[in-house]
Amino acid sequence: MEQLLFLDACMRGPEVSRTARLCRCFLEEYRALRPETRIVRRDLTGAELPVMTAARAEERDALARAGSDSPLLAPAREVAGSDLILVGAPYWDLSFPAALKVCLEWASCLGITFRYTEEGAQVGMSRARALVYVTTGGGPVRAQNLGYQYIQGWAAMMGVGETFCLAAENLDVWGTDVEAALARAAGEIPALVRRAAGR
Ligand SMILES: Cc1cc2nc3c(=O)[nH]c(=O)nc-3n(C[C@H](O)[C@H](O)[C@H](O)COP(=O)(O)O)c2cc1C
């Protein structure tokens, strides 16, 4: 069964977050196209994963070497074992909330999401066909979408095939018709879903 991993960093929660609204549209559309898809949501809004330290990184790598089923390895296993990754994250301070970065650090795990060849080349181990990054910004986003640029590099390192970005901009700028801006972004979702599904 196909698995879609939803990394939910829509920090204001599903009731308020405009980013979460776009993510819901994406998930509904994807489910309509691929009803058999299993959706795994990792809720990052409570920032429950501990910030990575050198000691924790060593512990994580030791757990990975031992093949442990520790929950600390779950982010990496989810990234490795998903066919599609949806990241929902508002545009915060030119990138995205720190809770997402913490999760991505836990997910970047030697032996689970990447490895080195005997020649020293780094090879991603995720089976994900694509990653879709959904964001909304109070001001302009596309001119300095640093969070997405980072995500593109991270996804390539993990072995994810393609990345796509959906952004609604200027939502906090006085005079913006927020509903119209969100509707415009939502209008891009059907085509995005087809591309993410490889159709
Ligand atoms: C902590 C924080 C940092 C933010 N940083 C930026 C920023 O750097 N640039 C910007 O245009 N908007 C910024 N915003 C505004 C949000 O990007 C905007 O309100 C966004 O739509 C929030 O998404 P949400 O409705 O999904 O929570 C920030 C908001 C917060 C709460």
pLDDT of residue 101: 98
pLDDT band at residue 102 under the 50/70/90 scheme: very high
What's the helix, strand, coil split of the chain in %, to 5?
40, 20, 40
State yes or no: pLDDT of 161 exceeds 90: yes
Ligand 1, residue 88: give the atom nearest the CA: 26
State yes or no: pLDDT of 109 exceeds 90: yes
Taking CA atoms, 54 is separated from 61, 73, 94, 103, in Å, by 11, 16, 26, 15
pLDDT band at residue 133 under the 50/70/90 scheme: very high
Residue 28 sits in a domain of what CATH number?
3.40.50.360
pLDDT, mean over the chain? 97
pLDDT of residue 77: 98
Ligand 1, residue 171: give the atom nearest the CA: 21
Which residues make beta-bridge pairs with 134? 88, 166
Ligand 1 contact, 179 CB (< 6 A):
no
Domain count for the chain, please give it. 1
Q: Which domain holds residue 123?
A: 3-196
Give me ligand 1 centre to Cα 66, in Å: 41
Mark out the alpha helices in 67-177 (DSSP H runs).
74-80, 98-107, 146-158
State yes or no: pLDDT of 199 exceeds 90: no
Q: State the angle between helix axes of 18-33 and 178-187 in degrees (0 to 180), rounded to the nearest 10.
A: 30
% of the chain at pLDDT higher than 90: 98
Ligand 1 contact, 137 CB (< 6 A):
yes
Cα–chain-centroid distance for residue 58?
24
Longest dimension (CA), the chain: 57
Q: How far apart are CA 125 and CA 160, in angstroms?
A: 8
Give me ligand 1 centre to Cα 126, in Å: 30
pLDDT of residue 93: 97
Report pLDDT digits (tens) over 28-78.
999 999 999 999 999 999 999 999 999 999 999 999 999 999 999 999 999
Contact between 88 and 20 (Cβ < 8 Å): yes
pLDDT of residue 18: 98
pLDDT of residue 72: 96
- Residue 81 identity: G
| Dihedral-angle region of residue 160 (phi above 0 means left; psi in -120 to 50 means alpha; beta otherwise) | beta
The preferred substitution site among 91, 101, 179 for testing ligand 1, maximizing ligand atoms within 8 Å of CB, is: 91
